[in-house]
Amino acid sequence: MQQAVDFKGFTRIRRVAAIAVNTHGGRAKCLQRLIRLDFPVPETVALSFDAVHRIADGQMTDVDTLLGIFGTKPLLSVRPSSEDPDWGGPGAMLNVGMNDARHAELTQSHGAEAADGLYLRFVQSYSVHVARLDPDMFEFDKDATTAAALKTALAAYMDETDEPFPQEPAVQLAEVLRSMARAWEGTTARLLRQAKGAPAEAGLGLVVQAMALGVGPGESGAGVMQLVDEVSGAPLIKGRYLRQAQGRDAMAAGAQTQVMFLTRDKRGSSLEADCPEIFAELVRISKLCRVKLREEMQIEFTIENGKLALIDAVRVQRSARAALHVAVDLARDNIIPKSEAVTRIAPRSLTELLHPQIDPRGSRSLITTGIAASPGGASGKAVFTSAAAQASAARGEPCILVRRETAPEDIRGMHSAAGVLTERGGMSSHAAVIARGIGVPCVVGASEISISMRGHAFTTARGVTIKEGEIITLDGTTGQVLAGEADMLAPALDDHFVELMDWADSFRDIGVRANADTPKDAATARNFSAEGIGLCRTEHMFFDGDRLTVMREMIFAKAPADRAEALSRLLPMQRADFIELFQIMQGLPVCIRLFDPPLHEFLPHDRAGLRELAEALDLPLSDVTRRVEYLSEFNPMLGMRGVRLGITIPEIYDMQARAIFEATIEASTQRGGEAVVPEIMVPLISAKREVELVKTRIDAVAAAVRNETGKQFTYRLGVMVETPRAALRAGDIAANAAFLSFGTNDLTQMTYGLSRDDAGRFMNTYVQQGVYPEDPFHVLDVEGVGELLAIGAERGRARHPGVTLSVCGEHGGNPESIAFCRAHGFDYVSCSPYRVPVARLAAAQLAIKSRES
């Protein structure tokens, strides 16, 4: 079968040998490191990426020479060695070199059971993976003896291939190498690794190692050891050992009954108790590995007749929490510098550490239970379609997406939802996998509920019906579904987390604030060390309870004076809101966006609501209907809102400015006279004159408040840059603005001409077809929207060098967007409170990276 010209392409792994991750793969390199540490690693040979590629192409390495390295009777393992272990690769092949003769010898030396087992394992894997025979033919009942199974397997191979099982080790090895090389080139394998970030041309190395048998006389077996818990990150000696076993058999589920734990514990025998010297050596090796390889490693070892062999070491797979603990502990132990600890944590992985939990002390109105698929608690309005979830998110209202089950087209909806509840599915269902990935609390398989997609409602087995818009709470940690909103506890931010973030902040060179509208948001923001509020939307201050009634009276007022009168009743409420925010933020900056939504959002649109309103206002229904119709808009996003309302109905901004200034005075008094300096942000600016007009009125309100109270205070007036024109004219606009804060949500909508509320129906198609590389509402469009940001920043700063620049759209928390803002000299980013740690970490990593390069 070996028609191709032989070539070499392999290297014995020695202390000094040209082995590199990008030529021979990570496993080969790691083994070299272990050898350099004088660990008892069996003879190992590495085949380079290039060699494996040539083998896949039909050439063959010089197998005879290769075999010669391992002596006269080689028994070998072959394992993959790619650049990144996450990219996968073919499974390991053990016992290459087994044949009838070797079997006979080993029967003598190690006993029949051991020899049969070794031969059987090779025949099985060779038949299935190399000869590609039907795997079912090589599976045997548990009660079949190993001897019988071996006999059957050899016969089956003969039956299927019309040839006896290959006896020549050189033939065996060549075929194993070829099959592993070709498996790497397969389309499926390629797509899978590319999905994990592998480049198209990613290579595979192979590692050929002399087997340490782990079976036979004396203490023989195989196991793994690590020094850390992969879930909690806590330091502890952890691992398994299985006698008369090879490779990672100890980890196989079926081995659980005979498996031994390493350390002494109450469950009987252990390696520590039975073989204290070997155990001590393993601990020594593990600890040295941690220090020298600068990482928590899991070592793979074999004991052959009392003699320890170190087969391999791999990075401990770990949860986000464990990763954080490991990085911090390595830095605390001075194994890695703090900057490296900071860069080792993927910023997005923090999300799952930060989610609030439902307060166990609160009362729970349980309506049903499902599988706890993604941890954390979440409350929000029930919605039944991804589109509704996206629309809700666009309105800034948390929602729980309720689906029978989810599919890829729901991913955007899941991103938008505070939590996900499904009727069907288990821990590995689409909903569960995605929700964990994006850190959204999720309960799946709540099979007691019955969803009516038409009715936009679900009913529980207890007969409770939840309609769209009603608030429910998910406990993704317990699987409970509750009616209403539950009290939440902030996540436990342990000392490791706090320490890592402190280190991050010491490197970071761009500010991070939070978008926070309510005292609760503000408290969360403080908890996550936001350096202020970058966007406080004030809409909710007009919607809540009685305030809505007052707003409606304002809308129906006949004259400016009547409007001002209605608004004056909102003044004390808003003042109290602002005082509370200032108190929570303890002198940190609070950037308050003036009223933004169109007035029609405050009015009912259905018949019943209109009738009710007419009665409440004591007006004819026709008057109310006409007013509502008059205020309705074709394109509310592009309509009468923001500063346009502020200019045509200036009483609203007047009232808000007064509430802010009066709250400023009160909060300063409460802080013992320490100045509170509010920031006032004008939304939807498109022309400099808008800023001038608003500034004139707000300055007048400030003067009036100073006059009335005899108190002094200062404030900063700035602009939300969210229309393309504002970005283009940022020079003009900055002349009258203390700060420019770029609202990338609206800016993206207008730059693309794309309503976020309406884009859901085609965004999937668009991203799938590569029309947009990413949903621009999730990942900042650097080419288009980004250019407007860059233009705006440059012009704003050129005209007004002291102007503060920031981004307060939802992109503010994305590492890519932070990189962009940092590169363009922005002062800070502002994002949702739970994204603040992500942003702090991402910003620190950028600073470290730029310092290093």
H or E element, residue 724: helix 724-728
Using CB under 8 A, which of 475, 666, 722, 810 touches a copy of itself? 722
Stretch that binds a copy of itself, among 318-326, 481-489, 639-647, 665-673 (CB under 8 A): 639-647
Cα atoms found within 13 Å of the Cα of residue 132, Cβ hemisphere only? 6
Pull the structure tokens for residue 212: 């340490």
* Residues tagged active-site: 430, 808
Considering only CA atoms, which of 241, 222, 211, 269 is closest in space to residue 94? 211
Q: Answer whether 727's CB lies under 8 Å from 684's CB.
A: no
The reply to whether 651 sits near a copy of itself by the rule CB under 8 A is no
Question: Which residue's structure tokens are 């083994």?
Answer: 31
Q: Which of 404, 540, 644, 711 binds a copy of itself (CB under 8 A)?
A: 644
- Closest distance to a copy of itself from the beta carbon of 434 (Å): 24
Binding-site member from 13, 451, 750, 846 for a copy of itself (CB under 8 A): 750
Question: What is the spatial order of strands in the sheet that 465-467 belongs to?
Answer: 450-452, 457-459, 465-467
Task: Confirm whether residue 746 is marked as ligand binding.
Answer: yes
**Cβ contacts of residue 305 below 8 Å, gap of 6+?**
216, 217, 218, 219, 220
Site for a copy of itself in 658-697 (CB under 8 A): 684, 686-687, 689-690, 693
Report the nearest approach of a copy of itself to the CB of residue 387 (Å).
9
Closest approach, Cβ 639 to a copy of itself, in A, equals: 4
User: Is 766 a residue that touches a copy of itself (CB under 8 A)?
Assistant: yes
- State yes or no: 745 annotated in a binding site: yes
Q: Which of 37/782 has CB closer to a copy of itself?
A: 782
The reply to whether 758 sits near a copy of itself by the rule CB under 8 A is yes
Are the C-beta atoms of 529 and 493 separated by less than 8 Å?
A: no
Q: Determine the Cα–Cα distance for residues 346 and 266; give it in Å rounded to an integer.
A: 38
Q: Per CB under 8 A, which region of 46-54, 319-327, 466-474, 756-764 contacts a copy of itself? A: 756-764
On whether 744 is known to bind a ligand per the annotation, the reply is yes
> Looking at 429, 723, 741, 804, which residue binds a copy of itself (CB under 8 A)?
723
Q: Which residue type sits at 512?
A: V
Nearer to a copy of itself by Cβ, of 388 and 667: the residue is: 388
Instruction: Output the smallest distance, CB 193 to a copy of itself, in A.
Output: 25
607 binds a copy of itself (CB under 8 A): no
Site for a copy of itself contains 559 (CB under 8 A): no
The string of DSSP codes covering 169-224 is HHHHHHHHHHHHHHHHHSHHHHHHHHHTT--TT--EEEEEEEPP---SSSS-EEEE
Q: Was 424 annotated as part of a binding site?
A: no
> Whose Cβ is closer to a copy of itself: residue 557's or residue 571's?
557
| CA 408 – CA 98 distance, rounded (Å) | 47
Among 545, 634, 673, 712, binds a copy of itself (CB under 8 A): 634
Which of 163, 77, 150 is CA-nearest to residue 117?
150
Cβ proximity to a copy of itself, 648 vs 853, nearer residue: 648
Cα–Cα dist 578/540, whole Å: 12
Residues in the chain: 853
Sites for a copy of itself among residues 357-396 (CB under 8 A): 391
DSSP code string of 17-59? S---HHHH-HHHHHHHHHHHTT--PPPEEEE-HHHHHHHHTT-
Among 246, 406, 473, 749, binds a copy of itself (CB under 8 A): 749
User: What binding mask, one character per residue, do residues 779-798 give for a copy of itself by CB under 8 A, x or -?
Assistant: --x-xxx-xx----------
CB of 395 to a copy of itself, least distance (A): 10
Between CA 433 and CA 21 the distance in angstroms is 31
Binding of a copy of itself at residue 635 (CB under 8 A)? yes
Pairing state between β 465-467 and 76-82: unpaired
Looking at the Cβ atoms of 143 and 783, the one nearer to a copy of itself is 783
- Give the one residue of 85, 568, 636, 706 binding a copy of itself; rule: CB under 8 A: 636
φ/ψ of residue 3, rounded to 5: -70, -30
Regarding 606 and contact with a copy of itself (CB under 8 A), the answer is no
Among 463, 545, 672, 753, binds a copy of itself (CB under 8 A): 753
- How many Cα neighbours within 13 Å face the side chain of 459? 6
In the list 771, 825, 850, 851, the residue contacting a copy of itself (rule: CB under 8 A) is: 771
851 a known binding residue? no
Tell me phi and psi for residue 90, to 5 degrees: -65, 155
**Which residues make Cβ contacts (< 8 Å) with residue 692, sequence separation at least 6?**
736
Known binding residues: 537, 593, 722, 743-746
User: Residues forming the annotated binding site for Mg(2+)?
Assistant: 722, 746
Residues annotated within a binding site for substrate: 537, 593, 722, 743-746
- Residues found near a copy of itself in the complex (CB under 8 A): 391, 633-640, 644, 647-648, 684, 686-687, 689-690, 693, 722-725, 728-729, 746, 749-755, 757-759, 761-762, 765-766, 769-772, 781, 783-785, 787-788
